[in-house]
Amino acid sequence: MNTDYPQINGPSIEADPVLAQLLRELRTRHNDAICCTLVYGSCLRSGDIYDGLLDLYLICDSYRSAYGNGLMATANWLMPPNVFYAETTLDGKILRSKVTVISLPDFQRGCSDWFESYIWGRFAQPTHLVYCRNHATRSNVEGALLQAARSMLQQAVPALPTEGSVADLWIQALGLSYATELRTERNGRASELANAAADFYRTLTTLHADSLGFDFAVYDVAGNLHYRSAASIWRRRWCTCAWALRRGQGKLLSVMRLAKALFTFEGGLDYIAWKLERHSGEEIVIPKKVRRAPLIFIWGFCWGLYRRGIFK
C-alpha cells in the first residue's frame, strides 16, 4: 500500500517546546517503549494545542515493555486502549493532555481487522505523527492510518446511498462511527469534521477508490468530487446490519472503558464532568456516593446522564 499519508498542521505543532518536553516525559514514564506518538482531534484541527485537552496516542512496542508485569499492562491487553491524564509546565505554559496507550500490533489490527470502529473510525480522521522512533515504525503506522480510512470506506459505503458527493459520503460515514459510542458532541459534529478537512477526505477517497473490493468510482462535477458505488445487495445488507450491531456493541464497550478509566485516569471523574459540560453546555455534578464508590454507583449515574440526553 502507498504510505504517502497526508499530513495536517504538522510543523507548527511539532515545534512546540512544551509538547516536546511532555513527549520526553511520557516516553520516560513508559520505559522508552513508545515507538510512535500521534496527535488527533480538536486541538489538531484548531492548531492550538493549549485549547482544552490535547489528544495524544502513544503507540508502544508491547504492554509489558511499557508497564512491566502488572495491572496496567493486563488492563491494556484485555481491553485496549488505556487512557490517562498528563500535563507539563515550561516557562509558565501548561500543556494538558488526554493520553491513550495502545500497542503497535493492536493499533494495526484496530485499523483493519476489528469489527468495532473504535480505532479505524477515529483514525480515518486527520492525524499527525509527532514522533516516530525510526523510518520502519513510521512506515508501519502510516500504512495503518491509510488502512483505517480504507476500512471506513469499505464498511460505510455499502450502507450509504449509491451515489452522491464525497463530502456527504464522509459526513454520513463519520456519523455512523460516532453513533457506535456514547458521545457528548452536539448534532452536526460529523459535518463539522468532514468540512474542516475536505481536501484530506478527497485525497483518501481517490487513493482507495480502486481497492475497496466492490465497484466504486470518483469523478468531478463542476469542481466537486462525487462518487458512485455498485456494491452487491448482500454486501449492502450485511454492512447495514453490521452498523446496527456496532451501535449496541460500541455503547456497551464505551461504558466498560469508562469504568476502566476510573482506575487508569487520575482525576477521571472530574475529567468526565469537564468533557460532558464542554460538549453539552450543561452543568455536571458528580455525586458524593459516585466519588466514594465509583464501581457501584457509576452505572446509575451514567444511566441518568443518558436519559437526560447528555450521552447519545
Residue 236 clears pLDDT 70, i.e. is over it:
yes
In percent, the amount of the chain with pLDDT more than 70 equals 89
**64 in Cβ contact with 76 (< 8 Å):** no
238-284 pLDDT, tens digit each: 999 999 999 999 888 887 887 777 776 666 677 677 767 766 677 78
Q: Are residues 229 and 94 in the same domain?
A: yes
DSSP state of 79: S
One domain for residues 136 and 16? yes
SS3 298: helix
Cell of 252: 456497551
Residue 3 within a domain: no
CA dihedral 262, 266, 268, 274 (to 10 degrees): 180
Which pLDDT does position 12 carry in this prediction?
A: 64
Angle at 65 between CA 59 and CA 71, to 5 degrees: 95
Q: Are residues 77 and 155 in the same domain?
A: yes
- Angle between helix axes 198-208 and 166-178 (nearest 10 degrees) is 100
Spatial separation of the C-alpha atoms in residues 198 and 89, rounded to whole Å: 35
Full strand arrangement of the beta sheet holding 224-230: 163-165, 224-230, 215-221
What is the sign of the dihedral through the CA atoms of 109, 114, 118 and 121? positive
Instruction: Find the angle CA(177)-CA(183)-CA(189) to the nearest 5 degrees.
Output: 70
Sign of the dihedral through C-alpha 119, 120, 121, 125? positive
Say if 169 falls within a structural domain.
Answer: yes
Cell of 212: 475497496
| Spatial distance between the Cα atoms of 34 and 30, rounded to a whole number of angstroms | 7
Q: Identify the domain containing residue 249 by its residue range.
A: 245-308
How many CB atoms within 10 Å of residue 101? Answer: 26
pLDDT at 311 over 70: no
Assess if residue 2 is contained within a domain.
no
- CATH number (domain holding residue 85): 3.30.460.10
Q: Both 67 and 135 in a single domain? A: yes
What are the DSSP calls for 10-73, one per residue? Answer: HHHHHT-HHHHHHHHHHHHHTTT-EEEEEEESHHHHHS-TTSS-EEEEEEES-HHHHH-SSHHH
Those residues with Cβ within 8 angstroms of residue 79's Cβ, 6 or more apart along the chain or in another chain? 253, 256, 257, 260
22 and 70 assigned to the same domain: yes
Q: Which of 44-53, 65-74, 206-215, 260-269 has the lowest mean pLDDT?
A: 260-269
Lowest mean pLDDT, pick from 26-35, 145-154, 280-289: 280-289
- DSSP strands (E only) in 133-272: 163-165, 215-221, 224-230
Q: Are residues 249 and 194 in the same domain?
A: no
Query: What tens digit of pLDDT does each residue of 214-230 get?
Result: 999 999 999 899 999 99
Mean pLDDT calculated for residue range 161-187:
87
Task: Compute CA distances 171 → 228, 281, 309, whole Å.
Answer: 16, 23, 22
218 occurs within a structural domain? yes
Q: Distance (Å, rounded) from C-alpha 187 to C-alpha 217?
A: 30
Residue 140 CA to residue 137 CA, distance in Å, equals: 5
| pLDDT band of 89, cuts 50, 70, 90 | very high
**Position 4 pLDDT exceeds 90:** no
Does residue 167 sit in the same domain as residue 140? yes
> In this structure, are 138 and 234 located in the same domain?
yes
Place of cell 499530513: 7
Per-residue DSSP letter, 186: P
